[in-house]
Amino acid sequence: PTHQPVEHFWALRSIPNLDLVRPADAVECAGAWAHALARKDGPTAFALTRQDLPNLSRPEGFDPALMLRGGYVLSPAEGTPQAVIIATGSEVSVAVEAKALLGDRGKGVSVVSMLCLEAFLRQDEAYRHQVLPPGVKRCSFEIGITLPWRSIVGEDGLTIGHDGFGFSAPAEVIQEKIGHTPAQVAETIGAWL
């Protein structure tokens, strides 16, 4: 792909029987590898980043097997969340930082790491509703095209992504230019809430 492959994630997701995994850290990379090795009904594509990502904190008692279910609550809200941020890959750590900034403003959100959307959509409804509670606003955050996320976040949901080309610079510069820093993401979500 080009160095701006904004359409590639959804192009891969549209291939029948293919699972796309976008790990957020080393722990998810190991989980994605376990997922790929365990699959007997189709291939798995890995979309990895060149960025130096932090290893993320998980809730006490976290069961790593949840990663094999495709999506899980990485960082729960205190109490009932006002919204759920659904992030993938390198955007997950940014979403966690944005969540903290929103919490400082009195806005409670949870962060879901969507390691593999295809695996998540194969889960039973009870699990999907546990991760993405009905009636709670949803925001997707992925550095790629936003339109397909509409089916996940709904008509009133928020999609944060990038629908164009045209920038070539270090990751931090691009991140700021397209509004993907933690502060910018928190500002966008805060205005939406």
Give how far Cα 97 sits from Cα of 32, 58, 71, 162, 186, Å. 23, 14, 19, 19, 8
* Adjacent-strand bridge partners of 19: 44
- Note whether 54 and 24 are within 8 A (CB): no
Rounded to two decimals, what is the model's pTM?
Answer: 0.94
pLDDT in tens, the chain (193 residues): 456 678 899 999 999 999 999 999 999 999 999 999 999 999 999 999 988 999 999 989 999 999 999 999 999 999 899 999 999 999 999 999 999 999 999 999 999 999 999 999 999 999 999 999 999 999 999 999 999 999 999 999 999 999 887 677 787 888 888 889 999 999 999 999 9
Q: How far apart are CA 126 and CA 128, in angstroms?
A: 6
The full set of domains in the chain, from first to last, is: 8-192 (3.40.50.920)
> Going by DSSP bridges, is the β-strand pair 109-114/19-21 parallel, antiparallel, or unpaired?
unpaired
